[in-house]
Structure 1
Amino acid sequence: MTQWKEYSIQINREVSEAVSNIFIEAGSQGVSISDRADFLNLPEYGFDTLWALDEKDFPADGIVVKGYFSVNVDEEEMIANLKEKIEQLKDFGFELGPYTVTAHSMDEENWATAWKKYYHPVRITRFMTVVPDWEEYEPESGDEKLIQLDPGLAFGTGTHPTTRLCIQALETVLKGGETVVDVGTGSGVLTIASALLGAQSIHAFDLDDVAVKSAKDNIQLNQLDAEIQVQANDLLKGIDLEADVVVANILAEIITPLIPDAWRVLKEGGLFVSSGIIEEKKTLILDQLKEQGFDIQQVLQMKDWIAIIAQKPEDN
């Protein structure tokens, strides 16, 4: 049986996406995140199917991000490299706080399948339920929409507060027939939700080729290939589109340079939905959106996470 090394980084929640990217850039074969906020974040809607979570699997402080590498990788060198990359995050304004980096060996079977026992159908908004591909599930009402998802280890299950906030925002702004651009698509959950909510043309981008494949696989699961185009790209650099909605569930530090390009590709009256923003960064992003010329339509919050709906004004 193939052996793998699991490297675990326990660190401040703010840097979860950045640390995930460090693992992916280092060649990790998968990334998982254990966040106590996910354990404590019970759904707002009355239903019985939930994550079968065990509290002891979640850190009391911060988060644990895990990456998986071949046992042939030198452990001391990998730990030193991970620590160096983490320290470099300070140059981008991240506050790291105390953190630890550890490693242990595990079998491929445990790595590839054990996590699935925690993942069950979850209604993430009043009208939208994420269903893992290996689970059977029947809608509880006629207006319930199902997102079939095989998230893999790297790109999440669609149940994180930032994703929920984005889908709530999309339910608010999509009326049908829109062109939507999803920046940093990950598992593709927001593109699938957009299609189910009536968007006509959807373009999804992610910098990571593995994420692009993950999104394409999930889009195929939902039989939405015709509505959604996915490709690798660095945010919206070089993209020439006219969008009704741009949605980005990424770090605040990445939203900042994205704002001018979101403005560029949006039609007059178009909407920019941004999430992945911790409460401490809310004012920063709001100020930058206003400086660009956006009108703030709505600010959504779930625990410590923020999503913003901003509109590009029409030229009167």
Structure 2
Amino acid sequence: MQWIEVNVSVTHEAVEAVADMLTSIGSKGVAIEDPQLINDLRNSGTWELCDIPEQENTEVVTVSAYYADDEKLEKRLAEIDEQLALIEERIGKYRFGNTRFRKVSEQDWANEWKQYFHVTHVGKSLVIKPSWEEYAPKEGEHVIEIDPGMAFGTGTHHTTNMMMERLEKVITPDSTVFDVGTGSGILAIAAAMLGAKSVKAVDIDGVAVRVAKENVADNGLSEQIEVREGDLLHGTEGKADVIIANIIADIVIMLLQDIPQKLNDNGVLLASGIIEERMPDVEAAAQAQGLYVDAVDHRGGWVVMQMKKKK
């Protein structure tokens, strides 16, 4: 399948607005190339990933998103132009040059991931390993082998990292889990490896469902994890002890109306993909549905919100 990569070069203050807009129009995720972040990492004393030189032009941040080259593409590209103009009306001039486009094949996408995705340790026991790299696990480690392909989710983003760390704290051997917007299936796999009894993983995107099923099978978890296509919780039956939603704030808010009926009384909702500025909106929507925020983790401008039912 052919895909269209949309690149928008913006100022720092416009990054979140443009990223949220591109996601809302149908991209499963965005790539943000921030030269200032690279310099911050280089100067932090922990830089050991690769030999990337000091970045000179730190004012320009590139936000990229991907859309299938199908019958919906023309409408989506027109909507992007309209929304970019509206953002400019709100915050003033923020773009550097015109929006750029290029065609990307599924094979190209898979190969590009390999430049940036390496073995990553998360929390106390989880290890994320690309399918093309070797790793000898230490005692007590759970190694998740992932090939993201065209699906969103390598585990390297702050939101996914924090969600996995939270899963280490809430998963028990009796846990039943719903993973909403599973992407590559990485969080569903983490939940199962941490001991969850059963996991139902749902995504609205057929490509993500295919990739997640492949990753689940490659990790030997097809009996514990069921992956299916569905819109939010509409692809699940019954109730869960833990519901995972690593999406975006607006979709989390939509999801909240169904949580009281789908979450067991002592269950936990873990919601992420939420920028810090949107946390009050999500909390207000949760309270309106009889939920309260039990814990919040912050990292890199993002949050994970742990919620429970009010008693």
TM category, shorter: 0.7 to 0.9
After superposition, the Cα gap between the structure-2 partners of 1:142 and 1:290, relative to the gap in structure 1 and judged at 3 Å, is same
Structure 1: which 5+ runs fail to align? 25-29
Aligned partner of 2:303 in structure 1 is 306
Counterpart of 2:136 in 1: which secondary structure?
A: coil
| CA distance in structure 1 between the partners assigned to 2:55 and 2:105 by the alignment | 21
| TM-score normalized with structure 1 length | 0.79
Structure 1 outlier segments of 4+, above 4 Å: 2-6, 37-42, 46-63, 77-80, 87-90, 94-97, 104-112
After superposition, the Cα gap between the structure-2 partners of 1:18 and 1:155, relative to the gap in structure 1 and judged at 3 Å, is farther
Deviation of residue 202 (structure 1)?
0.5
Aligned partner of 2:133 in structure 1 is 135
Q: Choose the corresponding residue for 1:19, options 18, 22, 28.
A: 22
Counterpart of 1:34 in 2: which secondary structure?
A: strand
Which amino acid in structure 1 is aligned with residue 286 of structure 2?
Answer: L
Aligned partner of 2:294 in structure 1 is 297
Tell me the percent identity: 34
Aligned partner of 1:209 in structure 2 is 206
- Superposed CA RMSD in Å reads 3.8
Aligned partner of 2:6 in structure 1 is 7
Which amino acid in structure 1 is aligned with residue 16 of structure 2?
Answer: R
Asked if structure 2 preserves the Cα contact closer than 8 Å seen for 1:148 and 1:218, the reply is: yes
| CA distance in structure 2 between the partners assigned to 1:95 and 1:198 by the alignment | 47
Asked if structure 2 preserves the Cα contact closer than 8 Å seen for 1:178 and 1:201, the reply is: yes
| CA distance in structure 1 between the partners assigned to 2:255 and 2:56 by the alignment | 35
Which amino acid in structure 2 is aligned with residue 118 of structure 1?
Answer: Y
1:175 aligns with 2:178: no
Asked if structure 1 preserves the Cα contact closer than 8 Å seen for 2:291 and 2:309, the reply is: yes
1:224 aligns with 2:227: no
After superposition, the Cα gap between the structure-2 partners of 1:169 and 1:109, relative to the gap in structure 1 and judged at 3 Å, is closer
Which amino acid in structure 2 is aligned with residue 83 of structure 1?
Answer: I
Deviation of residue 89 (structure 1)?
8.5
Asked if structure 1 preserves the Cα contact closer than 8 Å seen for 2:109 and 2:150, the reply is: no
Aligned residues: 298
Deviation of residue 8 (structure 1)?
1.8
After superposition, the Cα gap between the structure-2 partners of 1:251 and 1:142, relative to the gap in structure 1 and judged at 3 Å, is same
Which amino acid in structure 2 is aligned with residue 117 of structure 1?
Answer: Q
Aligned partner of 1:27 in structure 2 is none
1:193 aligns with 2:190: yes
Aligned partner of 1:244 in structure 2 is 241
Structure 2: which 5+ runs fail to align? none
Deviation of residue 227 (structure 1)?
0.5
Deviation of residue 105 (structure 1)?
6.2
